[in-house]
Structure 1
Amino acid sequence: MSVLNRSRRLAIAAAAIVTTAGLALTGCSSSGTAASSDSASTLVAYTGQSGDYQINFNPWSPSNIGGIGTIYESLFFITNVNTADPKPLLGKSYEWNADGTQLTIELRDGVEWSDGEPFTAKDVVFTLDMLKQDKSLNSIGYTGTAKAEGDAKVVVSFDEPSFVLGPNLLGKTWIVPEHLWKGIDPATDVMREPVGTGPYTLGNFKAQAFTLTANKDYWGGAPAVKTVRYLSLSGNTAGADALKQGSIDWQTGPVPNMDDIAGNYPGYDGITIGQNQMALITCANTDLGCSGPQTDPAVRHAVADAINRKQLNSLAFANTASDISPTFALTTTQKDMISKDVSPAVMPNSPDTDAAASTLEGAGWKKGSDGIYAKDGQKLSLTVEVVTGWTDYITAIDTMTQQLKAAGIELKAQQSSWNEWTDKKTKGQFQLAIDSLGQGPTANPYYLYNNNLATSNTAKVGEAAATNLSRYSNPDVDAALAKLKAINPEDKAATQPELDTIQQHLVEDMPYIPILTGGTTSEVHTAKFTGWPTQDDLYAFPAIWASPDNAEVFKALKPVKG
């Protein structure tokens, strides 16, 4: 399961608590209940998954269970929940040349791997070469050539402007030691004894639990949180019980009475961050084989107008969701990038059935005797694909069914397994599918647009699309995306006109119908540790399963006692 859907599921209402599975970084106690900490400097974490651990601390493996950010570091810390400059880690500074074809990285001096060997530029070059050579790892499309210039400088050259690769190379590439990894298959080999440069090393590991121990030789100084202990419980109900007992310190997920964490769970506080923009994905492009009423842009706009988002937030998402822009630029960190020509910039919380009716009737749809619109003998009936057990989304569809019926649109849910749902989406064999659109490595909507709108990322119905599941294709959008690849993202004057072009087409065509921005809620033990992220100081995404953000939180925390 992707991080995207993982965080979406964790925002569900307490009334719809389910046991989540497939989350990264899990652990368990042999009794199935949380064990209280014996030390003021031990942080007990619950990620939401039950079951035994399968040891693997290979940061490049899809079966990795932990260590990203804590054991293995990137060159810089980059997050998409704020617009701060990249934070130096193994790298001290970086610079692009004028046309974006060369990236020079100055490295930190005096860093050692946890086995005592020195960290050098050769390790960075080795990691980048490994990324380039193994297609299964290279999801970002890295094609550069890296060279070490001494022990503390790396120069990466590209054949074409590659500014947009920077955040992933600098902030999402986990550097590994050449002296230990020369004979390792990074995609498949299991790493049982990880060696990294990070603030923690692997402590005890059992099939039921594991701990991370502060690295006393860490280049940034050993963190005040001396031990991180990962638990697995029987489900989110057990997690809520553990919060009541004060026996876990950080979890991300639904609990009863989420509207007042501090009041209902003494010693704790809650924080909800809106990152996942929920949408009704439409198979929109008839040229690539899509069929059904949703291929009409008028239908897509009418659906968007008919949604009562305030009611939907209350009934399906326990009021943890927030506003969404039809441009799918976040209304928080990306609000300055929303085109001034787009109106409204934020979708209304109240429905506008008159606007929906006007749009449909202007496109030739006529309401039948049953109150549902039809055109050319085709009833305006739409089926939404959803995963069985995703109770928040199922409730959302049930709610929208009633809302859209009032606007003359029939909506029906089709539940299926994760695998079947995924297969339908990727092959375009659906009318609508409810899901969230993922953010990129930084607070820049380019990455969402490239993934979900670029013609290069889609395919004909029946063939698997990479990320553009709507089958959207627009030459003006493709041209704007190509220009953005060659522009330094820091040049706002140059990038905004291209974003304006993309957003204007996106809003007009609406291949993804905006619902709400989903919130991810975490509960943190403020009576035991200080330094947690807050809305006023969102230095990292405060979800326990979010790596490497969780490592930045571990480093920032201080025990209240001890």
Structure 2
Amino acid sequence: MFLKARRSSRARTVAAGLAAVAVLATACGGSNNSGGGGENADTLIVYTGQSGDWQLNFNPFAPSTLEGPGTIFEPLFYFNRLRTVDPRPRLGKSYEWNADGTQLDIELRDDAKWTDGEKFTAQDVVFTLDMVKKNPSMNGTGYKGEATAVDDTHVTVKFTEPSFMEGPQVLGAIYMVPEHKWKDIATPATDVVNQPVGTGPFLLEEFKPQAFTLKANPGYYAGEPALKKVRYVALSGNQSGEAALRQGQIDWQTGPVPDMANIEKNYPGYKGITFPMNQAALFTCSNAELGCQGPQTDVAVRKAVYYGMNRTQINSLAFENTASEISPGFALLERDKEVISGELQEKTAPMQPDVAKATAALESAGYAKGSDGIYAKDGKPVAMTIKVVAGWTDYITAVETIAQQLQQVGIKITPQQVSWNEWSDSRGRGQYELLIDALHQGPAPDPFYNASYFFSTATTAKVGEVANPNFSRFSNPAVDQALTALKGVNPEDAADRQQYFDTIQTEIEKSIPYIPILTAGTTSEYNAKKFTGWPTKEDLYAVAAVWQRPDHSEIFLKLKPAGQ
């Protein structure tokens, strides 16, 4: 189960942001939060982008989960998705594949306990894996293994076909839950968990709609964390987050702030870090055979949008030039440079618009420009609505900019600001023409995972049903076959793997069901005066994004109050 993190919500007005900061100051006991002293000296105050009150739910598998993956509920291992390093043991100690990739043997630690005092055993792992397999909406990784507890500290997972690529999914992207607590949950994919029992370094101390607090687990097998509390606050968007940051009211947020190049100057005591990871794109409901409707179901229209964008301008206006180029095959340009296909027509999406290519794509498919300047076919204009979450200021700027740009190629785009809940529901059910979002990466630094999530027939559904997470409804037999084949190739066999990456990337480029915009530069601002141990560009031991799970828990475990 790979949970898509909720992106940073964006503020609507400065006034709302300042009002929210006033509330936050009261909740946190004043504004002196940038130093090492005071009642909040060992409390990390974080803002995830939550806009509005929190809704109680600590179910790590539910789409509406607030928190828990990594902090309360743990995976077996932590895989760094930014660089190729050995996974760090969490509940697991070691693992090994057999020669043909059909059996995964896992050794567990023997000193972990659930926070209610019960011992963690192999049976909990088997129960969790079986539960995920039985519930398709929880099974975002497509897990199909058969797990068996050999004894209390050993689990064997067997697969009917070579499945090397399932390793990081099973080991790093499924969060273990206690059988004795979960066996009686009727619908584990959606039921609310309000009193979470986990093995992790933190447990729930207090919940209120405006804020909730995790406290260090004194019985954690690796020792009680030096970071004693993590307080999650709800504001009204990134402008209120920026105002809270400026006043020293929060210690960590991930999202844009004005003049990001000068964070240390503008926010004394704070530092920033930016790294490329998620890929911003226009999601299209692309597959008419699965029920998608609208001009975007025609690849010619998608190609015209692709060539009509001025990505340099979008980067400047919406992302303060923190984003970077993107591959139309959706492998990360730097991290995955060894497997970027040489068969792609374009290694990167063009940074400047090509009006001639855009209009040629439309006209060769039978579209003609009307008197209003908009292309049409069979009496239907190339006019589409693009959904964006109200308050996501960078994405709002991006879609408004794109709408203006596409007027030059005879395409009408109407941005529509909606609530996160409406946007998320429309995305899942395919009830949209275009929306803006980002494709996330998998549990390990390998482009297989991004492709298996967003471009596999197994992870999509008919319009009206919830897809997870192939929201575009893309379905391509050649891509499916290549993904299946990759599962059976040892990841160390680069030569054998490349032929399948070539197929995946070139087929994606032909269809572009997600129209690439830019590789997003994910930026976090953090209180370096109050806490030490943050990731740096030289030591990216975890993804430095407050909403990235379980990476954030790795950071919580490293942080120490200044002076300790």
The answer on whether the counterparts of 1:13 and 1:392 sit within 8 Å (CA) in structure 2 is no
The answer on whether the counterparts of 2:482 and 2:504 sit within 8 Å (CA) in structure 1 is yes
Q: 1:250 aligns with which of 236, 249, 252?
A: 252
Structure 1's 73 and 4: CA in aligned 2 closer, same or farther, altered over 3 A? closer
Q: 1:220 aligns with which of 222, 225, 247?
A: 222
Farther-moved stretch of structure 1 (170-179 vs 305-314): 170-179
**Which residue in the other structure is 1:197 paired with?**
199
Farther-moved stretch of structure 1 (280-289 vs 434-443): 280-289
**Which residue in the other structure is 1:355 paired with?**
357
The answer on whether the counterparts of 1:383 and 1:431 sit within 8 Å (CA) in structure 2 is yes
User: Counterpart amino acid of 2:72?
Assistant: I
Q: CA deviation at 1:410?
A: 3.5
TM-score, normalization by structure 2: 0.85
Deviations 1:402-452 (A, max 9, x none): 222223433333555556555655555554333323333223222332333
2: CA distance, partners of 1:179 / 1:216 = 22
User: Counterpart amino acid of 2:501?
Assistant: L
2: CA distance, partners of 1:428 / 1:58 = 25
Structure 1's 466 and 75: CA in aligned 2 closer, same or farther, altered over 3 A? closer
SS in structure 2 opposite 1:49? coil
**Which residue in the other structure is 1:527 paired with?**
529
**Which residue in the other structure is 2:108 paired with?**
107
Deviations 1:303-352 (A, max 9, x none): 21221111112222333332211111122322322102224311122222
**Which residue in the other structure is 1:22 paired with?**
none
Taking the TM superposition and a 5 Å limit, the aligned residue runs for 1:160-309 are 160-185=161-186, 186-187=188-189, 191=193, 193-204=195-206, 209-233=211-235, 236-288=238-290, 293-309=295-311
Q: Percent identity?
A: 56
Structure 1's 146 and 537: CA in aligned 2 closer, same or farther, altered over 3 A? same
**Which residue in the other structure is 2:517 paired with?**
515
Deviations 1:326-381 (A, max 9, x none): 11112232232210222431112222223334444555555555554455655444
Deviations 1:250-304 (A, max 9, x none): 1223434333211100010112333332222334445555565444433322321
Taking the TM superposition and a 5 Å limit, the aligned residue runs for 1:134-145 are 134-145=135-146
1: CA distance, partners of 2:105 / 2:95 = 5
User: Counterpart amino acid of 1:320?
Assistant: T
**Which residue in the other structure is 1:25 paired with?**
none
Farther-moved stretch of structure 1 (463-472 vs 344-353): 463-472
SS in structure 2 opposite 1:403? helix
The answer on whether the counterparts of 2:11 and 2:237 sit within 8 Å (CA) in structure 1 is no
SS in structure 2 opposite 1:31? helix
User: Counterpart amino acid of 1:303?
Assistant: V
Taking the TM superposition and a 5 Å limit, the aligned residue runs for 1:121-136 are 121-136=122-137
The answer on whether the counterparts of 2:14 and 2:240 sit within 8 Å (CA) in structure 1 is no
The answer on whether the counterparts of 2:106 and 2:156 sit within 8 Å (CA) in structure 1 is yes
SS in structure 2 opposite 1:301? helix
User: Counterpart amino acid of 2:396?
Assistant: I
Taking the TM superposition and a 5 Å limit, the aligned residue runs for 1:33-72 are 35=30, 36=33, 37-38=38-39, 40-49=41-50, 56-72=57-73
Q: CA deviation at 1:52?
A: 5.6
Deviations 1:447-501 (A, max 9, x none): 3323333334445566665544434333322221221233333432222211101
SS in structure 2 opposite 1:259? helix
2: CA distance, partners of 1:176 / 1:135 = 17
The answer on whether the counterparts of 1:124 and 1:175 sit within 8 Å (CA) in structure 2 is yes
Gaps of 5+ in 2: 18-22
Deviations 1:118-144 (A, max 9, x none): 433233223323334455533434333
2: CA distance, partners of 1:429 / 1:203 = 39
User: Counterpart amino acid of 1:531?
Assistant: G
Deviations 1:152-209 (A, max 9, x none): 2111122333333322221122223345555455456655554433223444555654
User: Counterpart amino acid of 2:6?
Assistant: R
2: CA distance, partners of 1:53 / 1:416 = 18
Q: How many residues matched? A: 551
SS in structure 1 opposite 2:160? coil
2: CA distance, partners of 1:181 / 1:425 = 29
The answer on whether the counterparts of 1:15 and 1:256 sit within 8 Å (CA) in structure 2 is no
Farther-moved stretch of structure 1 (256-265 vs 294-303): 294-303
1: CA distance, partners of 2:536 / 2:295 = 44
Deviations 1:388-412 (A, max 9, x none): 5544333323222322222343333
**Which residue in the other structure is 1:541 paired with?**
543
Deviations 1:215-272 (A, max 9, x none): 3443323322233233344654443333233342212234343332111000101123
2: CA distance, partners of 1:195 / 1:427 = 32
1: CA distance, partners of 2:429 / 2:181 = 41
User: Counterpart amino acid of 1:274?
Assistant: P
Taking the TM superposition and a 5 Å limit, the aligned residue runs for 1:489-504 are 489-504=491-506
2: CA distance, partners of 1:452 / 1:134 = 19
Q: 2:401 aligns with which of 381, 384, 399?
A: 399
**Which residue in the other structure is 2:313 paired with?**
311
Structure 1's 235 and 31: CA in aligned 2 closer, same or farther, altered over 3 A? farther
**Which residue in the other structure is 1:31 paired with?**
26
The answer on whether the counterparts of 1:61 and 1:189 sit within 8 Å (CA) in structure 2 is yes
**Which residue in the other structure is 2:152 paired with?**
151
Q: CA deviation at 1:88?
A: 1.0
SS in structure 1 opposite 2:165? helix
Structure 1's 88 and 5: CA in aligned 2 closer, same or farther, altered over 3 A? closer
**Which residue in the other structure is 2:20 paired with?**
none
Q: CA deviation at 1:60?
A: 4.1
2: CA distance, partners of 1:377 / 1:207 = 50
Deviations 1:28-84 (A, max 9, x none): 869356644525433222333366655554434555433332232211012433332
**Which residue in the other structure is 1:434 paired with?**
436
Q: 1:505 aligns with which of 504, 507, 531?
A: 507
1: CA distance, partners of 2:359 / 2:331 = 27
Structure 1's 466 and 195: CA in aligned 2 closer, same or farther, altered over 3 A? closer
User: Counterpart amino acid of 1:392?
Assistant: D
The answer on whether the counterparts of 1:111 and 1:197 sit within 8 Å (CA) in structure 2 is yes
Query: Cα RMSD over matched residues?
Result: 3.5
Q: CA deviation at 1:503?
A: 1.0
The answer on whether the counterparts of 2:54 and 2:234 sit within 8 Å (CA) in structure 1 is no
Structure 1's 94 and 519: CA in aligned 2 closer, same or farther, altered over 3 A? same
The answer on whether the counterparts of 1:14 and 1:257 sit within 8 Å (CA) in structure 2 is no
SS in structure 2 opposite 1:93? strand
- Please tell me whether residue 450 in structure 1 is matched to residue 444 in structure 2: no
User: Counterpart amino acid of 2:518?
Assistant: L
